[in-house]
Structure 1
Amino acid sequence: MTGHERSVLVLYGSETGNAQDIAEELGRLCQRLHFKSHVEELDAVELSVLLQHQLVIFIISTTGQGDMPHNSLLFWKKLLRKKLPPNCLSRLKYSCFGLGDSTYLKFNWAARKLVRRLDQLGATTFVDICEADEQFPDGIDGSFVRWADDLRKHLLEHYPPPSGLEPIPDDTMLPARWSLGPALADLSEKVQVVDLSPLRLSDTNGTLTAPNLPPPGLLPIPAGWTATLTKNERLTPTEHWQDVRLASFDVPAHQSGGKIQCVPGDCLTLYPKNFPHDVQKLIDLMDWNNIADQPLNLSACESLPRNLYAPACCTLRDLLLNNIDITAIPRRSFLKNMSYFSTDEYHRERLLEFTMTEYIDEYFDYATRSRRSIIEVLDEFTSVKIPAERLLDVFPLIRGRDFSIANGGISANHPSNNDTTNVELLVAMVKYRTILRKPREGLCSRYLASLLPGSTLRVSYKPVLSPIHGTANSQRPLIAMATGTGVAPVRCLIHERLTHPSPAPMIIFFGNRNRAADYFFEDEWRTLSEVAAKKNTQLLVFTAFSRDQREKIYVQDLVRREAPRLEKLIPKRAIFAVCGGSSKMADSCKRAVFDPFVESGDEAARKEMLEAITWWQEIW
């Protein structure tokens, strides 16, 4: 038996965390089949590591315009090196699960590019590759459950466990990957009565927190920036159903001299925190009051999750306030973990049902469609008491939320000085109702709404992967189609284009519900049109406000109406930017552009012309 036998390496490229969650679930599946499983992000491994394992599974999402996720760019660069011999990976047996969205023109391109390159270097697949589609009726989850079942059967048939060993049953709990045990070990004899007044809650720096507000301390985010909130202005009327904010941040340069240089498509990443009363509710539910405020030394732990942004010295309450996502929709793996800690047989069986392939629809109805939160599920299954040492192994971490930067170029509202960059974000406060009585609120929305001007927080900066700005692109016509806060990156792009001499014509199609409440930057578009005219070019803005008349009008209706105008621009290698919160809208816009153009001339020639355009899409 060689050193790498019965060893599976699961590598993920993840932008929002979905691919990482799937990778960790696969790691546990392989553990149950008695493989040594290792789960890591792509950028954390060298190519030579691929050959040190019997099997390698890649889980990769496609981001942007067919791009690799940010945490796989270094790996991809290594894989593309020209000096790599053609058969250097001939001993590699792999499979790949791709996460994609078929409303994008470059569907699952990251997975396809990865597979093509691995094949070029001599690697071979051991089980069929899967391209999951967000648009499937049961989404990515449904595809993954079925593919994972096939993978398990294949592994059992072709790589059976060593003689005498049976697969570890699903109802048997696996050892913790990350345990707080060493950090909690000294607390058993230090139990004290804790004052639960919210005024006594402290952040990681020991400062007092106002009642029911997240702690103000700065998270230790590697390569992060300290930003100061200078404006948190509501743009929609107070009586309007939706609260949309223009949040403005001043981001000073690093001491090393580095400064954020914003370009269209870049994102600022915010890291939300939990509210004290939610944290206290979880502490009560789990019976953690005796240890919640005792000091922990995380450096005593053998290993910690890669994206845990916490100081070595903290408390359990600090971790819950700053790092643990207790309001997330529970994944099936979380519900399975809950089942191990239930003392009620009915609760246990019910939780396990949600994790089974045949009950995927029930899980969707219970968790996804109703948007139940982790804390609500724990409040419903009261027999579940998760030990504190399992906190990092069972609960998801709070992930940063990416927001497209909305300002740039000639914006004069907040000029940047030599040491500070001003960044504006257009943020819709997520608040809605489902079949559950309590209104749903987004964690980051709620956090941002609680911040007052002058607040400081740590942020990350994420550069665009497929840029559509710059001198050359400014000479190509721009047709932007945006709904709601999707207008943010469009605004940034228009500002940038107007810094160039004589940019090509620009057309914006903007859609929302009501002109009086939802027409973001209305006055600014008029000013920018005047600036464009002085540069001997044109900026046209067409609006569709669906609720302002009996017959609903959407952006795609305006695009189809203006087809003759667009027909003249497409042969000039136009850039189309589609931004907003609906894949259905993006797909309708694509048809509104492509169908009339192809139908009005030689079909083959016109399809060839469409291949020369740039279709840049950001849907969230």
Structure 2
Amino acid sequence: MAASDRTVLVLYGSETGNAQNTAEELGKLCQRLHFKSRVEELDAVDLGALLQFQLVIFVVSTTGQGDMPHNALHFWKKLLRKRLPPGCLAQLRYTCFGLGDSTYLKFNWAARKLVRRLEQLGASTFMEPCEADEQFPEGIDGSFVRWADDLRKHLLEQYPHPHGRQPIPEEVNLPPRWSLEPALRNAGSGSRDARPELLANGHAGPSTSNLPPSDLLPIPDSWTATIADNKKMTPDTHWQDVRLVSFDIARRGAGHKLHCNPGDCLTLYPKNFPEDAQRLVALMGWESVADQPLDLSLCGPLPPALYAPSPCTLRGLLLHNIDFTAVPRRSFLKSISYFSSDQDHRERLLEFTTTEFIDEYFDYATRSRRSIIEVLEEFSSVRVPPGRLLDVFPLIRGRDFSIANGGAKLIHPTREDMTRVELLVAMVKYRTILRKPRQGLCSRYLADLPAGTVIRVSHKSVLSPIHGPANAQRPLIAMATGTGIAPVRCLIHERLTHPSPAPALLFFGNRNRAADFFFTEEWEALARDRLLVFPAFSRDQREKIYVQDLIRRESPRLADLIPQLPIFAVCGGSTKMADACKNAVFDPFVEAGDEQERKKTLDAVTWWQEIW
């Protein structure tokens, strides 16, 4: 085999960024073994491209109810075309790493469906695929680190370099995939006349305000939204701040109006605060270049999800695009180790990335929720060159929120050219084992935005819908905790727009009736419309009562509905809650009769789960 034939294509389908990060790690692994590696999202390639590479590695997460991620849907449709001959991918040699969560009934279905279809088209594996489980003690990372080690060994043994070249050692930094260096060089040699203009437009120099910038970024397929209301739903004395945020979304283009359905999400794009950006600038020693104008067109390829402000500076990228308050991934710790001037720091950072120290990484980063900027303060010898910003730091990804209104409630109260959308948002504030207060990036960004603020949002359609006239004729058994009531509220309102909907049961759990029984008046009003509400408040009495306890209490009522093939919807922020609800529904039903027949009946019901 010629050295020029050593090619690997790494393709990912990613909803939240985990699969993308995994794919990029695999691309670097192959690069160290002197393969020409290319990393792309699945929708960015045609089927013919699969046959142009010696090996293909798929990295696919499962989203929703066993669905492909949104950035893999076009590829999947192409793969399902009936006119594709059975052996058309016979030359393809591939493997697959699936990212899943076993609390969902359709665990790792996206990866399984992909593997099954590739086999039907004649493709064969060059290494056993892996199904990782978020519920493993070490999460997805534990599975990936071990599987990546096996992949490396396999490639070395089965695909050795024809000229005997040794792998690039781990202590040697790879060339950057994305580099700002050309723009920085041009800025350093350019005219100084551009700087006053940037200052006048608010894109250069430390901000006098500590509010995030108000620029509207060029996000593809986005909508312009105006905050109509930012209403607090919990009392000031409550432990959690929950908001009902209302958006007025204008028509787009030649009059296209946003249409939403239950289960759809609105994606918000948070920004950083100037004081935090300045903190990172000072840590890295970027003061001399932070506010120079950058011409990104000089940089060649840039990350596909980079929606940079215009005009642009390094500080502008920090404010709008760089997620430096995120929990660092292992790949980030490895990247910054190359820029440490302290040998002990370098060795410790690299330890966190190895199989032997996966537990310590979990304790250091994941369990304690350390942020990237805190890590850089702790490992103070690290100085990342500004040209490596996009290559080392993660980008801010949009945050998805389930739409909380439905049916007629999506109509704007006064304007026909607007769509009114409501989100129920919990402001993320907590303390970790480090005892330091934490606040989510999007929560902090959204908390103080006043009515009238204009932002960019995206709309994400539900992939496994449970709305519509046919579904409204099936009983609904909804189980929700906290802000998980948002998609359930949307669904219940939508069902009532159809004639004679089937009965609906709502099991809603929270801590206190007085503090967080969201939409109480609505549930009381809807109780006349074939809706039964069973609230569970865990802290209002000595003995804690949870949603699953009420489900077990009502098991005879559920058993009567199950033969009608109801829709079960479970929504909330806890995988333990989802598992407990599943057992509370299934166990009594299976135990009460012929086990085999009853399991067959349960296979025909719809279990729709949304856990975050």
Q: Same fold (TM over 0.5)?
A: yes
Shift of 1:240: 1.1
Q: Which amino acid aligns with 1:406?
A: A
Shift of 1:2: 6.6
Distance 1:389 1:383, change over 3 A: same
Distance 2:144 2:134 in 1: 11
CA-atom RMSD, angstroms?
A: 1.9
Match of 2:79 in 1: 79
- Are the counterparts in 2 of residues 209 and 216 from structure 1 also a CA contact under 8 Å? no
Shift of 1:259: 1.6
Match of 1:429 in 2: 427
After superposition, where does 1:85-484 map in structure 2 within 5 Å?
Answer: 85-188=85-188, 203=202, 211-311=209-309, 313-411=311-409, 414-415=412-413, 417-484=415-482
| Residues 1:553 and 2:551 are matched in the alignment | no
Task: Indicate the SS of the match to 1:273.
Answer: coil
Match of 1:605 in 2: 597
| Residues 1:544 and 2:542 are matched in the alignment | no
Match of 1:615 in 2: 607
Aligned residues: 609
Distance 2:376 2:191 in 1: 24
CA deviation string 1:153-212 (max 9, x = no partner): 0000001123241100111000000000111012335799xx9xxx979655x8996621
- Deviating more after overlay: 251-260 vs 327-336: 251-260
Shift of 1:142: 0.3
Distance 1:343 1:474 in 2: 63
Distance 2:503 2:31 in 1: 58
Task: Indicate the SS of the match to 2:247.
Answer: strand
CA deviation string 1:586-605 (max 9, x = no partner): 01100000010111111122
Shift of 1:257: 2.1
Distance 1:118 1:409, change over 3 A: same
Match of 1:525 in 2: 523
Task: Indicate the SS of the match to 1:296.
Answer: coil
- Are the counterparts in 2 of residues 68 and 110 from structure 1 also a CA contact under 8 Å? yes
Distance 2:97 2:201 in 1: 43
Give TM-score scaled by structure 1 length: 0.96
Task: Indicate the SS of the match to 1:111.
Answer: helix
CA deviation string 1:317-351 (max 9, x = no partner): 00000000010000111101111000011111111
Q: Which amino acid aligns with 1:520?
A: F
- Are the counterparts in 2 of residues 202 and 208 from structure 1 also a CA contact under 8 Å? no
- Are the counterparts in 2 of residues 12 and 19 from structure 1 also a CA contact under 8 Å? yes
Q: Which amino acid aligns with 1:322?
A: H
Distance 1:4 1:250, change over 3 A: farther
- Are the counterparts in 1 of residues 307 and 321 from structure 2 also a CA contact under 8 Å? yes
Match of 1:39 in 2: 39
Match of 1:20 in 2: 20
| Residues 1:574 and 2:566 are matched in the alignment | yes
Match of 1:68 in 2: 68
Q: Which amino acid aligns with 1:299?
A: S
Moved over 3 A (4+): 1-4, 187-192, 199-204, 206-210, 412-417
- Are the counterparts in 2 of residues 323 and 398 from structure 1 also a CA contact under 8 Å? yes
Task: Indicate the SS of the match to 1:494.
Answer: helix
Distance 1:414 1:519 in 2: 25
Match of 1:565 in 2: 557
Distance 1:605 1:461 in 2: 41
- Are the counterparts in 1 of residues 481 and 508 from structure 2 also a CA contact under 8 Å? yes
- Are the counterparts in 1 of residues 513 and 540 from structure 2 also a CA contact under 8 Å? yes
Q: Which amino acid aligns with 1:566?
A: L
Distance 1:403 1:203, change over 3 A: farther
Distance 2:508 2:154 in 1: 50
Task: Indicate the SS of the match to 1:508.
Answer: strand
Task: Indicate the SS of the match to 1:472.
Answer: helix
Shift of 1:437: 3.2
CA deviation string 1:449-493 (max 9, x = no partner): 021110011111000000000000000000000000000000000
Shift of 1:93: 0.2
- Are the counterparts in 2 of residues 408 and 492 from structure 1 also a CA contact under 8 Å? yes
Q: Which ranges in structure 1 are unaligned for 5 or more consecutive residues?
A: 533-537
Match of 1:535 in 2: none
| Residues 1:596 and 2:588 are matched in the alignment | yes
- Are the counterparts in 1 of residues 96 and 129 from structure 2 also a CA contact under 8 Å? yes
Q: Which amino acid aligns with 2:604?
A: A
Distance 1:518 1:138 in 2: 33
What percentage of residue pairs aligned between the two structures are identical? 72
Shift of 1:311: 4.0
Distance 1:249 1:349, change over 3 A: same
Task: Indicate the SS of the match to 2:508.
Answer: strand
Distance 2:50 2:3 in 1: 13
Distance 2:15 2:573 in 1: 17
